[in-house]
Amino acid sequence: MYETGDTICAVGSAAAAQAAACESIIRVSGPGAFAAVADLFSTERPIRCPGVTTGAIAVDGLTLDAALYAFAGPRSYTGEDLAELHFFAAGCVVERVMANLLSRTRPAGPGEFTLRAYLNGRIDLSQAEAVAQVVAGSNMVQVAAAGKLLAGKLAQTIADLRRRILDLLSLLEAGMDFSGEDIIFVTPQEAVASAGHIRSALQQVLDGGIRYEAMIDLPSVGLAGASNAGKSSLLNALLGQHRSIVSDERATTRDVLTGMLELQQCRCILFDCAGLGPPESSAGLLDELGRQAAVEAINAAELVLFCVDLSKDDYTEDARIRELIACDNVVLVGTKADLQAATDLPRKAATLADALGDTPVITSAKTARGIDALGDCIERMLIELTTGAGEAADRITINQRHHTVVCQATEYLDQAIGELAGKNDEIAAMLLRSAYERLAGLEKEDIDEAILERIFSNFCIGK
């Protein structure tokens, strides 16, 4: 692990382009934080701490307007003296400012600012993990769930369950200590019921939690269909830019083309690939390689938009191609609606629904008809896929470590319930104590250096 007694420095904002100015944040934490920025930052007014002071940064003959955010330890994010320089500059200038600061500090490692916040008692371990999860979220439901974790919701929930385990354990142990007295602290039925309620609450944490591992990569949405089904035009319309070449000639797309699709509450990778078809439809080696790549990419996607040209009279080929798609989540999209008379569209949509067994979303890349509706459909399905079942407002993000700990505690409770039903209170008490101690491992107790290193090695530098 890192040394925590020195002063660290890192860029805490998104990377700036070399030639384009944007807002940049450089974060410095440690006993020498204020001294490290003193030679760079100048101001005509007293530096406010805590607070914000406006001034300027001078580096390599350049003078930049800047603001200094200063927070004295222990009342800062890291629990140490913390300084942040906020300024507008190109990437090359940010590098020069960093080089100047690094003559007095050392570069921060991944997650080291949050690690120090945890080690200094400013946040608990689940809140520390939530910082990375907020950054990794691909939709607002995931970010909101990670925000609940950051606010300490998981820690509060587990603390309440540990208190309930401790209450039951104290009653059992009191009953064993005063077994010779005519006092009943808790009946076997009451003990079984109490342990069962705790066990159900732990199961709700497992069932209602959004797995962090599912948040790390953006979900992928693939456009599939026959050649010349309007996939490339639809990709361009959804992205709002000409990412894919559009042509009336068949099989113009042979490689997999991707773009970032930004929706209201979520993001995804949208990709277009070669038209699908049976192997005998390939016109040569390139066509066959393109077809194979398309099938592999489509079947690996979280969601598939299966595109069918509405202007066609026969959908037999499309029905055969649809059988090649193994993805469980498919949206049928009728394309090129602008080529049909408005009065004829309901009949064509019904015919397509009969042929493919699903109701199509009617679109036209040329007139933008149905593009917003399709985007809403993609967003709704992705949020459901990436967050699972349950009420989104109550979800908390959990990761593999949380999941393992809660599962183990649940197993102890299952065993304890069996022993309580058999009136083996001493064994039940031992199992309840094990569940209590296991849940403690979610926060500060029994957290060794190897676990901390695994957790914080997944962070961004500067966080």
Per residue in 262-310, pLDDT (tens digit) is: 777 667 778 887 667 555 555 455 555 556 666 777 877 888 899 999 9
Query: 31-35, 211-215, 386-390: which has the highest mean pLDDT?
Result: 31-35
Cis status of the peptide bond prior to 360, with omega within 30 of 0:
no
User: Residue 254 above 50 pLDDT?
Assistant: no
- Tell me how far apart the alpha carbons of residues 55 and 46 are, in angstroms, rounded to a whole number: 10
Domains and their CATH numbers in the chain: 8-123 (3.30.1360.120), 127-213+395-443 (1.20.120.430), 220-367 (3.40.50.300)
The pLDDT of residue 362: 92
Give the H or E element holding residue 353: helix 345-356
312-321, 341-350, 382-391, 450-459, range with the lowest pLDDT: 450-459
Mean pLDDT: which of 2-16, 83-97, 344-358 is highest? 344-358
What gap in Å lies between CA 22 and CA 437, rounded to an integer?
Answer: 48
Query: By mean pLDDT, which of 24-28, 205-209, 340-344, 458-462 is the weakest?
Result: 458-462
* Predicted confidence (pLDDT) per residue in 22-59, tens digit: 788 888 999 988 988 888 888 888 888 888 888 888 88
Mean pLDDT of the chain: 75
Contact present, 406 and 202 (Cβ < 8 Å): yes
Return the pLDDT at 332. 92
pLDDT of residue 102: 85
Angle between helices 188-208 and 400-421 (to 10 degrees): 160
Q: What is the largest CA-CA distance in the chain?
A: 92
Residue with tokens 């009949």: 347
- The more confident residue out of 13 and 79 is 79
| 378 touches 331 (CB < 8 A) | yes
Q: What is the mean pLDDT of residues 193-202?
A: 87
Whole-model pTM?
0.43
Q: Distance between CA 77 and CA 61 in Å, rounded?
A: 33
pLDDT at 140: 45
Phi then psi for residue 430, to 5 deg, are: -60, -40
Distant-in-sequence, close-in-space partners of 293: CB < 8 Å, separation ≥ 6: 255, 256, 273, 274
Section 188-214 average pLDDT: 75
Percent of the chain residues topping a pLDDT of 90: 5
Residue 242: pLDDT band (50, 70, 90) is low
Determine the average pLDDT of the residues in 399-426. 83
Q: How far apart are CA 287 and CA 253, in angstroms?
A: 10
Is pLDDT of 257 > 80?
no
Q: Per mean pLDDT, which range of 61-65, 205-209, 353-357 is the poorest?
A: 205-209
With b for 16 or more beta-carbon neighbours within 10 A and e for fewer, the 383-396 pattern comes to: beebbeeeebeebb
Predicted local confidence at residue 443, as pLDDT: 55
| pLDDT of 64 strictly over 70 | yes
Please choose, from the candidates 368, 255, 228, the residue with its C-alpha nearest in 3D space to the C-alpha of residue 309: 228
